Amino acid sequence: MSISRRAFLAAAGFTTVSAGTALLSGCGSSKTSVTGESGAPSSLEVFSWWTEGGEANALSSLVSEFHLHNPNITFINRSVAGGAGANAKAELARRMKAGNPPDTFQGQAGAMLDDYVDAGQLEDLGFLYQQQGWDRSVNSTLLQLTQRNGKHWSVPLDIHHINVIWANKHLCDRLKVPTAPTSVADFVAALRKVAAAGKVPLAIGTTPDQNWQVKHLMECLLVAELGPAVWPTLWQRGGDWTGQPVTQALVALKEILALTANQTAALTWDQASAMVGRGDAAYQIMGDWTEASFTLAGLIAHKDYDWAPAPGTSGTFLFASDCFTLPKGAKDRDAAIAWLIECGSQNGQDSFTAAKGAIPPRALIGGTERGLFDTYSLWSMDQWTSTRIVGSLTHGVVARAAWNAAIDAAITAFVTDRNPARLQTALAAAAHTYAA
């Protein structure tokens, strides 16, 4: 019999944020001592940026599953607050440079790990892939992304859907705007209508510490204008950043921000989700970690809120995948390996992804297993197998750190000067410098 995700979480004891955070503190470090029957006691320092409600809850769920198999390992939560790793990525880079790696850290499959791989700071995980049979069981897109120079450098834990629009259904129905605007033009028309009714059209943080949310919106608009065949070419040498489709996307970005951002500038992503959840704002364009926060808030899918591919991106699945690594010099290598095995296992992935709004990265998801997931995740699973899959910029797949930093600087300038032509020039210059 299938059980719903809510029931699954309830059974695991994680129905509320406070239940989740009782185990793991939101920021900094906390320890959960576990006394078990077998194995020598050891500890495991896990670095991530999962501190918000739905994220911390999903991490707690994974830690509980991990402790079932590793009761003697003390979990040390070294999470650093800040959506999309806004602060964690810099802190991680500092630690790695100082030769003080955590036992394992949250990375993102794809270019986000390239600097660490090239600097020789990670262990090749080929031995684990072989031992655990992951070469056969992991989805082929992910299997490719975990490799560089023919070796595996990370274990994928989830697949997140990036190009999703979330809508408050009550508000949209009342204002007679669609919950799923299909084109960018329809979306802008709906935003205007919501603004005219005195409500916040789009919840989005735009202050410099939150400008990854603008980058997230920008990449959805670029995918809408360019389509899934051209988007990946932007990340290769010779990609066309100067053409009309990029111009159109950036002009739309300006138009959309003009309609909304001054009302919501300082919001974190989860505060923005909460605004939509409460009906204080109509829309948010955000990854599907928003689904987890809506579930925690007790909202009902299709009744209180709805989702759809971000405007203009139907038929495309813009994705990211959180993964874990084995840094060379990890103080507790055996405990880190036990964690990686959990991340690659069916139970580990199910416990985490079902609570995170994500889907598991394994190739085959059984019928019974599907019963653990809610209607949103089932939709996302179907999209994963029926649409064109392309990698995310904001969430680590297509561009390495230095390129992302150049784009971040261009976006920060744009939020102040609102000049799409200048932004396009800066983006083209960054591609010229960094495309390999």
Q: How far is the CB of 205 from ligand GAL (least distance, A)?
A: 12
What is the per-residue binding string for ligand GAL in 101-130, x denoting contact by CB under 6 A?
A: -------x----------------------
Q: How far is the CB of 193 from ligand GAL (least distance, A)?
A: 29
339 Cβ neighbours under 8 A, 6+ residues apart: 44, 46, 66, 103, 104, 324
* Residue 259, CB-side half-sphere exposure with 13 Å CA sphere: 26
Among 20, 83, 277, 357, binds ligand GAL (CB under 6 A): 83
Q: Which stretch binds ligand GAL (CB under 6 A): 8-16, 77-85, 117-125, 187-195?
A: 77-85
Give 86 or 194: the residue with its C-beta nearer to ligand GAL.
Answer: 86
Burial profile 404-425: b = 16 or more Cβ within 10 angstroms, e = fewer: bebbbebbbebbeeeebeebbe
Give 177 or 411: the residue with its C-beta nearer to ligand GAL.
Answer: 411
Q: Which stretch binds ligand GAL (CB under 6 A): 27-35, 80-88, 89-97, 110-118?
A: 80-88
Among 17, 62, 76, 84, binds ligand GAL (CB under 6 A): 84
Q: Does 89 bind ligand GAL (CB under 6 A)?
A: no
Give 55 or 219: the residue with its C-beta nearer to ligand GAL.
Answer: 55
What is the per-residue binding string for ligand GAL in 377-406, x denoting contact by CB under 6 A?
A: ------------------x-----------
Q: Does 85 bind ligand GAL (CB under 6 A)?
A: yes
Dig out the tokens for 79 from the structure: 């999470």
218 Cβ neighbours under 8 A, 6+ residues apart: 249, 250, 253, 411
| Parallel, antiparallel or unpaired: strands 322-324 and 104-108 | antiparallel
Give 49 or 376: the residue with its C-beta nearer to ligand GAL.
Answer: 49
Question: What count of residues does the chain have?
Answer: 436
CB 188 within 8 A of CB 249: no
Q: Does 65 bind ligand GAL (CB under 6 A)?
A: no
Q: How far apart are CA 165 and CA 314, in angstroms?
A: 11
Degrees to nearest 5, angle at CA 264 with 262 and 270: 160
Q: Maximum Cα–Cα distance for the chain, whole Å?
A: 64
Question: Which stretches of the chain bind ligand GAL, using CB under 6 A?
Answer: 49-50, 55, 83-85, 108, 160, 269, 287, 289, 320, 322, 395
